[in-house]
Structure 1
Amino acid sequence: MTPRTAADLMRRTAVPEVPGAWPLLGHIVPMLRRPLEFLPATAEFGRVVQVRFGRMPVYVVTHPEAVRELLVPGDIDFTRGRIFEKLVPALGNGIATVSGAEHRRQRRLLQPVFTRERLTAYASIMREAAEEATASWQDGQRLAVDDVMNDLALTALTRSLFKFTASSDTAEAIKDGMQQLTNGLLLRTVLPTSWERIPSPGNIRFRRAMARMHRAIDDVISTYRTAGEDRGDVLSALLAVRDTDGTGLSDEEIHAQVMTLALTGIEAPGAALGWVMYEIGRNPEVAVRVHDEIDTVLDGRPPHFDDLPDLSYLGRVIDEVLRLRTPLVFMRRALSAVRIGEVTIPAGAEIVYSPYLMHHDARWFHDPLRFDPDRWLPQNARHIPKGAYIPFAAGAYQCIGKMFATMELAIVTAVLGARWALRPVPGVTVRELATALVRPSQLPMTVHRRSDDLRSGRK
């Protein structure tokens, strides 16, 4: 961020407002009706532009330099924004919702949850979940892969969180709660808070799902407290955490972290896994390269955490999926009047940054709608400006579970790709649906045993 002086802050550059605002509603209607078109289109009006959610002005950063000025200072000039506030009633004050010193404290405490030793154990859990999910597949079977991957992500996450006590009721309560939360998050962000108090069917379902999920997680925490043993999972690691004064996390604090990990570890990887299967399946050349690499690196054995660096092409496939089908929007709030580029943003203002917007901008990604894993080869990736690729944010608030998430995508894909080839059903249109995430509208695919599938591109 450029240095700020009193004179700087007095010289305000007019912020262009994006056209298309409705009377009273502002840009709520286009934002909800067509977010995947509306957000990228804002970039043509400036590096920092203004939209309105009703009467509330919201600033949108549309350039990598502006994104870095927003994200890299982190908690110096900004706190979490409105979209994160909407998560507090559901998640509590966990690492995904707190700001400043409290965020730094929690981040320090949670580092032991993501050590190499722990990640290696989580990788084994993910591998076993994938092997179980595919055990009943039949050659030529048609599957709703979006549902299959959501369920697989749910199994992997709940077993990673609480390995031995994740009953089917607990898993379903978490799944239902997280679906309700992510499906309605964009709507809750742009509408006034008073709307949430209306006893509409959707709001009633949301409250019931949240209550059921909270009860299930509290029961598991209580069970672990009583057992008092390290079971090699996330909840055991959280119970073992100690602050500098030797105190551990309270049940309330552990609950908030479990909720946060559930939010980021079920819906997002479930959708991403579906997109990974879809892109590999509809691009024969990509499928050949993925399968050949899996065969070469693994040579018939199950994948492990230490195999990930050698699965380099698969890693580029995952990077490209995370570029194309990325979270839609996040927010920050200015602690004081700040300048981003040539624009002065007032204290308390809400600021939007959109990974989807940045990742679909042809200025930074040539032919941005094309699926091209090789754009992530080192000689190509170095031309992508910092701030243009932000699937896990950046700076102080960068996602602490980044390695956990990408590891899951790689491990599951390697398990599936070693034995199966998935192909989209001809004639079925798969569209992007925007909620808090970008999901497939439907994803029917047929599965084929690779032992019956001629390899190296031969059909």
Structure 2
Amino acid sequence: MSAPVTRQPPAGPENIREVPGAWPVLGHIVPMLRRPLEFLPAGARYGDVVKVRFGRLPVYVLTHPDAVREVLVPGDLDYKRGRIFEKLEPGLGRGLATVSGAEHRRLRRLLQPVFTRERLVGYASVMRDAAEGTAASWQDGQTLEADVAMNELALTALTRSLFRFTAGADTSRAIQNGMGCLCHGLLMRTVLPSVWTRVPTPGNVRFDRAMATMHRAVGDLIGTYRDAGEDRGDVLSALLAARDDNGDGLSVEEVHAQVMTLALTGIEAPGAVLGWLMYEIGRDPEVAERVHTEIDTVLEGRPPHFDDLPRLEYLDRVVTEVLRLHTPLVFMRRTLSEVRVGGAVVPAGAEVVYSPYLLHHDPRWFHDPLRFDPDRWLPENAARIPRGAFIPFAAGAYQCVGKLFATTELTMIAAVLCARWRMRPVPGVPVREIATALVRPDRLPMTVHRRDVGGHDGHGEHGARG
């Protein structure tokens, strides 16, 4: 049962407690980069709003769900996108994930037709076909790097949804490499001074080259689509066809930016989550048995369709619990004026951090937070979780517009793979979380075992969770 909600007394900017451990000149850069998954959650003991320093830059970290809701739900009234989103702009352009205010509202309205139910049904079939292709390529008893395999599968599903007919292997690989560079370096680029990105380090040179190659490939593909002038039932066709109330569509630059945004949210994030999803199902015999039994019962041996997904209730809870336990580390906002949040006064122009990882691992809101427990999302249990404590897709005006696309992809792919295979972690190989823009496994070797028509693999459900 969740502990009682406690609030700290009001504090002005000068009285907000600073998290201990700052280094001279560097502030909290070193502990933030060395151990981010421990550093941020530990800040909750010092107040609902606490201060850290990235060098000389003060950053205000929200540690209470109420404080996070005070920032996210008003959305663009008192806040704009913060520093971390500015660091995304070289890779994404000025798209839905990087712009603020009226510009964001306009783009969001234009993108709504991309995610209609009719189009989601089509995307779901693309996701299913991609997953079936991956499932058909495995061999019984094979050991594979599940994190790599799931990232490749997410790439295939996303590029086929974005560009159904004309995306070649070179384009797909350019997008994957570019998004990988963008995500892996994002935390460091956010924490370090902006001048660091202009230093010609090997990492910065690789980043610049990957961005240039990715943008060139996507730009060529958009040009091909515009010249063809037909709706191919994919995301890019929907973007090119989108019109506002005045009949105006997206500019070429805006279409390009939306493609980049969808690539980031459709490859790197679901690839990481799918890896964790297979890991959590595979390492717990009870969870695996319930997932496989439900899939066998609902699907009766046939491929899943979009309308089947709501009936996979336990699998949905498993996906939700993975999104809680293995969630993005940090997002940011910037105050447009002096604001009062979490009982504290934060000055204008300040960087405000909220961390899904911090909230999702706080024992005040989630009993035994390190335990993987899909049944915490049964309605009677979920009702006890405070509003704002679970925010894998943010909330308010800047909530992820592709939330249903993402959850459809995760559930569909998991249903296809688990219908045909049992995946088990390799015994004796520890799996550790590492934080970049996302929280990924450092390695994820798993062995796949074929399931027969009756849903049994001949290996039993033995084994221990580890």
Task: Give the TM-score band, short-chain normalised.
Answer: over 0.9
Could you list the runs of 5+ residues in structure 2 that have no partner in the other structure?
1-9
Alignment of 1:243-322 (within 5 A): 243-322=244-323
Distance 1:200 1:10, change over 3 A: closer
Q: How does 1:15-414 map to 2 (within 5 A)?
A: 15-414=16-415
Tell me, in whole angstroms, the C-alpha distance in 1 between the residues paired with 2:413 and 2:38.
Answer: 31
Structure 1 residue 458, shift from structure 2 partner: 7.2
Which residue, 450, 453, 456 being the options, matches 2:457? 453
Q: Offset of 1:133 from its aligned partner? A: 1.0
Which blocks of at least 5 consecutive residues in structure 1 are unaligned?
Answer: 1-8
Cα 1:455–1:427 shift into 2, 3 Å: closer
Contact 2:12 2:346 in 1 (8 A): no
The answer as to whether partners of 2:285 and 2:462 remain within 8 angstroms in 1 is no
CA distance in 1, matches of 2:108, 2:315: 29
- Per-residue deviation, 1:135: 1.1
Question: 1:426 matched to which residue of 2?
Answer: 427
Q: Tell me how far apart the structure 1 counterparts of residues 384 and 121 of structure 2 sit (CA, whole Å).
A: 33
- The answer as to whether partners of 2:32 and 2:40 remain within 8 angstroms in 1 is yes
Which AA in structure 1 matches 2:382?
A
CA contact (8 A) 1:15 1:50 kept: yes
What is aligned with 2:3?
Answer: none
Whole-Å separation in 1 of the counterparts to 2:457 and 2:325: 28
Instruction: Tell me the residue number matched to 2:6.
Output: none
**Per-residue deviation, residues 392-431 of structure 1 (Å, max 9, x unmatched):** 0000000001111111000000000101000000010100
The TM-score normalised by the length of structure 2 is: 0.95
Q: Given that residues 13 and 344 in structure 1 are in contact (C-alpha distance below 8 angstroms), is that contact kept between their aligned partners in structure 2? A: no
Native 8 Å contact 1:433 1:440 kept in 2:
yes
* 1:341 Cα deviation after fit: 2.5
Check conservation: 1:288, 1:456, Cα contact below 8 A: no
**CA distance in structure 2 between the partners assigned to 1:118 and 1:277 by the alignment:** 27
Distance in structure 2 (CA, Å) of the matches to 1:369 and 1:323: 10
Q: 1:69 to 1:135 in 2, by over 3 A?
A: same
Check conservation: 1:146, 1:440, Cα contact below 8 A: yes
Amino acid at match of 2:400: C
* Cα distance change on mapping 1:30 and 1:10 into 2, 3 Å: closer
Letter in 1 for 2:168: S
Q: Deviation per CA, 1:201-229, whole angstroms, max 9, x where unpaired?
A: 00000000000000000011011011111
Q: Conserved in 2, the CA contact under 8 Å of 1:359 and 1:389?
A: yes
Query: Which string of whole-angstrom CA distances, capped at 9 and with x for unpartnered residues, describes residues 178-215 of structure 1?
Result: 00000000000001110000011000000000000000
Distance in 2 (CA, whole Å) between partners of 1:193 and 1:290 is 46
Residue deviations 1:296-345 (CA, integer Å, cap 9, x gap)? 11111111111111001000000000000000000000000000122100
Give the Cα–Cα distance (whole angstroms) in 2 for the partners of residues 422 and 131 of structure 1. 15
1:378-405 superposed Cα distances (whole Å, 9 cap, x missing partner): 0000000001000000000000011111
What are the superposed Cα offsets for residues 129-166 of structure 1, whole Å, 9 maximum, x if unpaired? 00111212111011111100000000000010001011
* Aligned residue type for 1:385: P
- 2:11 and 2:63 map into 1 onto residues whose CA distance is 23
Given that 1:13 and 1:342 are in contact with CA atoms closer than 8 Å, whether structure 2 keeps it comes out as no
State how many pairs are aligned: 451
Distance in 2 (alpha carbons) for counterparts of 1:423 and 1:349: 46
What letter corresponds to residue 457 of structure 2 in structure 1? D
* Alpha carbons 1:113, 1:238 under 8 Å: kept: yes
- Cα distance, 1:456 vs. partner? 8.3
Q: Distance in 2 between matches of 1:170 and 1:293?
A: 38
Distance 1:10 1:150 in 2: 44
Report the Cα distance in structure 1 between the residues aligned to 2:219 and 2:152, rounded to whole angstroms: 22
Distance in 1, matches of 2:207 and 2:187, equals: 14
1:13–1:343 contact (8 Å) kept in structure 2: no
Instruction: Return the alpha-carbon distance in structure 1 between the equivalents of residues 11 and 126 of structure 2.
Output: 56
| Partner Cα separation in structure 1 for residue 101 and residue 460 of structure 2 | 52
The change in CA–CA distance for 1:135 and 1:192 in structure 2 (over 3 A counts) is same
Secondary structure at the counterpart of residue 74 of structure 1: coil
Give the letter for the 1:27 counterpart.
H
Three-state SS of the structure 2 residue aligned to 1:135 is helix
Q: Is the CA contact (8 Å cut-off) linking 2:270 and 2:410 kept in structure 1? A: yes
**Aligned mates of 1:59, 1:12 — CA distance in 2:** 9
Shift of 1:38: 0.2
- Aligned-pair CA distance for 1:248: 1.5
Shift in CA distance, 10/318, structure 1 to aligned 2, threshold 3 Å: closer
Cα RMSD between the aligned structures? Answer: 1.4
